[in-house]
Chain A
């Protein structure tokens, strides 16, 4: 790992050459982050300069406390947004990764006819702007929209998708007759965490949120397909041939040859999906701004709302930093789970 030492005046010259990008990064990335961190410690209404004293008062961690520990509307809303986004992540990340991988393997087959056409088709939703797709979805999933018309042909009466705040867990249990979602009672409603009852925590994504998850999966799986496809084409053919000589079947090939070879890319895709889904904003903005019943409220949107609608910029910044911590933690956990394990310690699960 020994690197040759820099000779003579190379060091300063190096700094000189990278200084433009360091300057740009510092000015547009590092500096704003530091400024935002400072704002998150202030009670600032956005009508004065927060960096020279003035009206913005320093309140320490009050903004964070209001969101995390003090009972009140802010904490309830924040907990709701965390719940919503957690369900979003939980469904969206595996769905879009799985779909992306499946699509990539389909279009990677050498025997498949019309491969380019299929690749373009699958990638197409990713090129379209989310705002445009969201607007179309709004029409498709109206109470009397195209989706419900289709469903009515097979005798199903679809819900009013984007106006339905019921959580799908309770809807399913209710339909199976296992629970009564309209009159919850007992332990689940009497106890809770962060101002939200367990009944609400466990309700699952609402019907409206599930529709958004569908949309997001559809639009992003194309991008992931492309990444997976590039990686699949990098797998040496010899590997597959050797495996074939060993007499593996297709499932074993996938599990012991293809997936291990894809691991770095899998990590990339999962990380991208994870970060992207904790920051979901544009769809929420277009499709309901938290409605129905706050079930599409996400931390990113709540941050925007706190800052620009309620003029509580401190809280908005605090939410952004909590979100940052969550994303870091999730990515760290995932890196640990996908770490390169010593093959001698047993087969990879």
Chain B
């Protein structure tokens, strides 16, 4: 026994020593980060890019800022943005400026990792109210949206004509949608193919007058009759076979099915344009607003925001960089490069005038719903999305009841 006890003792001593050494040196905690002022500032930017086009556009904008300000900007592309940001925050060494996805926003904001800079941005009222609401925490606008995209109904022009349909048949209501999807479905072609996530199907909940939470995101409203009506409508079309989810037609996502021509219609945002141009050039399509439901028009808007790290030593310069990147001319340049609709309403108007046919992707106003941005809500919507996969055979009321109870638990824990 003697040797074993010695081993244990030595190991424990070693661990204790290492723990003391490790904790005392590398982590610095508490207090505000000291700011570096004056002279040339070196900024790091971490982005989760949608592709080459976006990376190139951000790099170009960053070098334009370098020339204007004299600071240097290092743009890094994350392979897994949330994981890399999480590690960087935990290690007290975050990039100065980075993309923040809506579902991580509440988590970072409540953790105090984001420097709320909204009031320092030029003409901040120009950003659409829905998007500003998404990025407000504790009544402060924490970060500004880098661009926006709302969902539109995208139709394949060739398949539309082959089915004997004309522009007069463009669906304006749910019934219209159901009818044209039925006429378009033929053999290997399915009328409507979308992904099964709430990030698409939720638009129908909005059109029926419902949504997952109330506007202030403090109460769950998932098990409402409006939401049920929306899911039952979707279920009806799924059972008729005129609407299918992307996995059912062997596609990784709806855009792939649309590009291959196995889907006559799909519901996607402006990112579809870039993807089609890269993978399926030469396909003719038309972007329409989503059909109106019983409660009028409704669509979902998506965006990321430009986060500035609370721990950054160059916060002023970082805010200056964000201010530069969200200038109308820069936003329009980004839009030209990879199809992102500007998040400033003035710039969006100019951009959409320049790019006719994409208005539906830049929807603004009452019917536009942003995603849920409550802390800890990620796994709740994850479960909701899992349940929606089997919507065709499942009981919609049960799905919504589960969402309601899981959501209430998460809201209770988050507040």
Contact = CB atoms under 8 A, between A and B. Distances in A.
Interface of A: 11, 15, 22-23, 26-27, 30-31, 34-35, 45-55, 72-74, 77, 142-145, 160, 162-163, 165, 182, 290-294, 305-313
Nearest to B107: A311
A182 B379 CA distance: 26
A53 B89 CA distance: 16
A312 B104 CA distance: 12
A52 B18 contact: no
Nearest to A38: B19
23 contacts: A22-B14, A27-B18, A30-B11, A30-B14, A31-B15, A34-B15, A46-B87, A47-B89, A47-B108, A47-B111, A48-B29, A48-B89, A73-B380, A73-B383, A73-B406, A160-B247, A291-B389, A294-B383, A310-B376, A311-B86, A311-B104, A311-B107, A312-B376
B248 A163 contact: yes
Given A23-B14, A34-B15, A46-B90, A310 B111 contact: no
B112 interface: yes
B112 A72 contact: no
B386 A46 contact: no
Contact of B112 (A22, A47, A291, A311): A47
B295 interface: no
Interface in B1-34: 6, 10-11, 14-15, 18-19, 22-23, 27, 29-30
Contacts of A311: 86, 104, 107, 111
B18 A291 contact: no
Given A47-B90, A47-B112, A77 B247 contact: no
A165 B379 contact: no
Nearest to A26: B14
B389 A160 contact: no
Contacts of B247: 160, 162-163, 291-292
Contacts of A15: 10
B11 A52 contact: no
A46 B86 contact: yes
A26 B9 CA distance: 13
Nearest to B22: A31
Contacts of B23: 51-52
A30 B27 CA distance: 20
Contact of B248 (A51, A55, A143, A182): A143
Interface string B71-82: 000000000101
Given A26-B11, A73-B406, A77-B379, A144 B250 contact: yes
Given A55-B112, A291-B389, A293-B386, A46 B248 contact: no
Contact of B386 (A31, A48, A291): A291
Contacts of B6: 11
A73 B413 CA distance: 13
Nearest to B249: A143
Interface residues of B, number: 43
B376 A72 contact: no
A46 B248 CA distance: 37
B379 A310 contact: yes
Given A22-B11, A34-B15, A73-B380, A308 B82 contact: yes
B248 A160 contact: yes
A237 B272 CA distance: 68
Nearest to A27: B18
Given A54-B29, A54-B30, A73 B409 contact: yes
Given A48-B111, A310-B376, A26 B89 contact: no
A143 B383 contact: no
B360 to A, nearest CB: 29
B393 interface: yes
A-B complex: 4 closest residue pairs judged by Cβ atoms:
A47-B111, A163-B247, A49-B27, A47-B89
Contact of B29 (A26, A52, A77, A292): A52
B113 A47 contact: yes
A165 B389 contact: yes
A26 B8 CA distance: 12
Contact of A31 (B19, B80, B383): B19
Contacts of B15: 26, 30-31, 34
Interface in B378-415: 378-380, 383, 386, 389-390, 393, 406, 409-410
Contacts of B390: 165, 292-293
A143 B112 CA distance: 46
B41 to A, nearest CB: 24
B89 A46 contact: yes
Contact of B406 (A72, A165, A291, A313): A72
A346 B30 CA distance: 68
A47 B108 CA distance: 8
B92 interface: yes
Contact of B250 (A49, A52, A143, A294): A143
Given A45-B111, A144-B250, A26 B406 contact: no
B83 interface: yes
Contact of B107 (A31, A45, A293): A45
Interface string B357-389: 000000000000000000010111001001001
A158 to B, nearest CB: 13
A275 to B, nearest CB: 23
Contacts of B80: 308
